[in-house]
Amino acid sequence: MGLDTAAAESPVAPRRSVRNAQRKVNSVTTTSASSLQTTTPQSTPIIASDQCLPQPAPVLQAVTSIPHTIRQIHLGSIAMATDFGSPYPDEYGSLPVLYLCEFCLKYMRLQRSVQRHRLQCGKQRPPGTTVYAKGPLRIYRIDGSIDKLYCQNLCLVSKLFVDQKAVCYDTEAYMFHVLTRTHVDDGVETDRILGFFSREKDVDSHSSLACILVLPPYRQSGYGRMLVEFSYEICRLERRVASPDRPLSSAGHRVHWRYWQSAILATLRDLCLQRVSASRPQARGGKDAGVSVAALSQMMCLSVSDIVEAVGEWVEVVDGDQVVW
């Protein structure tokens, strides 16, 4: 038969396929590998040169044994080469190319199946609620227990590019924040996905995010930095100190590390200006000359370990406290 049937194209895997896919996910081994998880942000004006700053430490990579069979996906009209295997149901996971609807992320075997699906789908943007809008950019907040099929498909896509995370079907415990850009084609406005991050719903969690991805065509544009910054804005609204889930890919670690540095430097600059305006003493050798790491952690909702990792060369111990000079 030349065309996929509606049952075969359903985004919900059959029970046997789900069990097989979950067994693939569970067969995780630890080794070293490199993957591109997200974009490298542009240098902030606060940092004159990376040469004078502490450099990020190597990151341990987690690599799955899922065969890298799907070599390319077509998301709408855009083709993307994949980096890793993903636990799609067997009848799809064995194909070299998958075709996806760019709005609901339903996966299909054939390009003409996508064209037929678009006549019925009718979606022009991700599900969920808009929580950020500026210019053409939007961020949608999506509940993994309400829009479960979309979130499962999103996780399957992310696994093709990020090998560190294993959650693909159990999405109920997560909120997803999807970044889009608005396009107008033939008078029709659509919001197309650029990337996303997920985070746990648990209010007692100390995680700023669980997974982050910027799709390959949109990297090197500052979107990774934007997603990281937005994840910490949520933490500040919730008034809790947090850190990203580990392990991170080298690129995922790098975008966090650069955000930590620039955000810490901006905070220190503001505190310095406040002290100068208040005519406070700045003599080196006392606690007033620096800012304690613990105080920075509470102000910025960054973990102490992440602050030390980012600016460790500027940290000294004064009267038993870690202080950033």
Each residue of 164-174: pLDDT tens digit? 766 678 899 99
Q: Which two tokens stand for residue 301?
A: 């909702």
Q: What percent of the chain has pLDDT over 90?
A: 59
Report the pLDDT value the prediction gives residue 185, as an integer from 0 to 100: 83
Other Cβ atoms closer than 10 A to 286: 12
Report the pLDDT value the prediction gives residue 306, as an integer from 0 to 100: 96
Q: What angle do CA 109, 113, 114 make, to 5 degrees?
A: 100
Can you tell me whether residue 46 is helix, strand or coil? coil
Rounded mean pLDDT of 57-77? 74
Report the pLDDT value the prediction gives residue 40, as an integer from 0 to 100: 36
pLDDT tens digits, one per residue of 4-30: 433 334 344 433 443 444 444 444 333
One DSSP character per residue, 175-236 reads EEEEEEEEEEETTEEEEEEEEEEEEE--TT--BS-SEEEE-GGG-SSSHHHHHHHHHHHHHH
Report the pLDDT value the prediction gives residue 240, as an integer from 0 to 100: 93
Please determine, for residue 110, whether its predicted confidence score (pLDDT) is greater than 50.
Answer: yes
Report the pLDDT value the prediction gives residue 30, as an integer from 0 to 100: 34
Range among 29-33, 37-41, 80-84, 316-320 with highest mean pLDDT value: 80-84
Please determine, for residue 147, whether its predicted confidence score (pLDDT) is greater than 90.
Answer: yes
Q: Are the C-beta atoms of residues 161 and 213 closer than 8 Å to each other?
A: yes
pLDDT tens digits, one per residue of 223-271: 999 999 999 999 999 999 999 998 888 888 999 999 999 999 999 998 8
Report the pLDDT value the prediction gives residue 285, as an integer from 0 to 100: 44
List the beta bridge partners of residue 214: 195
What is the pLDDT of the chain when averaged over all its residues? Answer: 80
Please determine, for residue 146, whether its predicted confidence score (pLDDT) is greater than 90.
Answer: yes
